[in-house]
Amino acid sequence: MNKLFKFIKKRSSFFLFAAVTTLLASSANAQVYNNADSVLIRRLYDEVLQSEEMDANLRYLTSHIGARTAGSEKAQRAVDWLRVRMSGYHPDSIYLQPVMVPHWVRGEKEAASFTTGGRTIELDLSALGGSVGTDGTLTAQLVEVKSWAELSSLSDEQVRGKIVFFNRAMDAREVETFKAYLLAADQRAKGAIAASKKGAIGALIRSLTLAKDDYPHTGAMSYDAAVKKIPAAALSTNSADKLSEALKKDPALPVSLQMNCVQLPDVLSYNVIAELKGTTYPNEFVTVGAHIDSWDVGEGASDDGTGLVQAMEVLRVFKATGLKPARTLRVILYMNEEAGAHGGVEYAKQASTRNEHHVAAIESDAGGFAPRGFRIEASPEVTAKFKAWALLLAPYKAGDIQPQQRGVDLVPMKGTAKALLSLDCDDSRLFYIHHSALDTYDKINPREVAMGAGAMAAITAL
């Protein structure tokens, strides 16, 4: 027994020594590899964090151009300015990619009210992007619902000639507010269609925010060609609560609604694209992007002004540090993400026509808040490679790699690019300002935007 114990102990010591030796050798090799990447990433972050260029770009975009709905004069001004600005960073090429986009105009500010107890209560609302107008004042009773099941349970007779009031709030129990937003956004996107199918003549939707205030949050809605178009607007959360309380006291309460929006013919616009030619694989592409357009309320600072300046910053930083990419870096500033992703669709179409080889497509459209990491859509093998790089980004608080990328303009590249990645940010504050008049430069923290740009540059370089 003692001999056996000594033999096992001797063998265990040998295997332990071998394992430790192998581990040390592997660690040494990994350390050499990681050190080179760490130095590169530190250099990129240093350039971003010490420069005021990106913040100056965002201030100019928000104060001199402001809100830039697709198809508008301000959207074209943004295209022209972005082209000139990126030209100043001396890319190998820069060009405009034509794309036809819808042109929706809000018109004179919308209004809504109801009368109770001899008092007229004004409601704070915002027409949803793409909605038709009311053609004067529309007055009708309401039907309040908080789920699709509630709407389905109502007969057509109960809904016909009325306005459906979708009052389902974002779920405050969701730790990740972006998830709460996605789970509630269906009523904004499809509410008008579902209501019209039952004979409704209008739709009001509770704003997609956890805030309790008087600021309505707009956003895209959709129509079905086979279903009559009815006007649709978002109510501020305070107005939604007031209306809900009033309906409890008077279920037959009428509401008056006036919306002056109109859908004009599609217009020609552009994606703005700049390139740095790859030194080793010039016909392989890594793209970095954000969207130019915003809604017509606020200044489009967070959505997606921060993403725009971050994408531009990747180009500037590569040039400023003398970094020459092995693959061609293509910075794409897309037009009309908000109302149909026409720019993203057109880019993917052209890339497919040219049979281009895209290694990765990256986008920033998460509000410009403190970065956490990236969300990825790729094969398990490719995902594993990005997760291996997470340690390099961890010192900058951007090492969290999660599934399910959220870049709308990247969706058309699915199946074309090996990896789709969206910058993932802390979303605690995003939906307090999202798509509302509160989306202004003063709500932005330049340091957080800079940290996000550093993460974008780092993942692009890797």
Question: What is the distance of C-alpha 156 from the center of its chain?
Answer: 36
Residues 389, 394, 400, 406, Cα dihedral to 10°: -80
Locate 46 and state its tokens: 């240093």
- Residue 10's contacts (CB-CB under 8 Å, 6 or more residues apart) are none
Residues 6+ apart with CB under 8 A from 231: 127, 131, 132, 133, 134, 138, 192, 202, 203, 257, 259, 261
What residues have CB less than 8 Å from 118, skipping those under 6 apart?
A: none
337 is catalytic: yes
For the four alpha carbons of 304, 309, 312 and 314, in that order, the dihedral sign comes to: negative
In a 10 Å sphere around its CB, with 0-12 CB exposed, 13-18 middle and 19+ buried, how is residue 222 labelled? middle
- In single-letter form, the type of residue at position 73 comes to E
Q: Rounded to a whole number, what is the distance in angstroms from the first to the last CA of the chain?
A: 56
- Which of 337, 346, 377, 448 is the catalytic position? 337
Buried b (16+ CB within 10 A) or exposed e, 247-286: beeeeebebbbbbbbebeeeeebbbbbbbbebeeeeebbb
Spatial distance between the Cα atoms of 35 and 44, rounded to a whole number of angstroms: 14
Burial per residue of 32-44, b for 16 or more beta-carbon CB atoms within 10 angstroms, e otherwise? eebeeeeebbebb
Which of helix, strand or coil describes residue 158?
helix
What one-character DSSP code corresponds to residue 299? -
C-alpha closest to that of 62 among 454, 442, 445? 442
Count of CB atoms within 10 A of residue 385's CB? 14
Length of the chain: 462
CA pseudo-torsion sign 325, 462, 397, 301: positive
- Tell me how crowded residue 402 is: count the other CB atoms within 10 A of its CB: 15
Phi then psi for 96, rounded to 5 degrees? -105, 135
Please list the active-site residues. Answer: 337
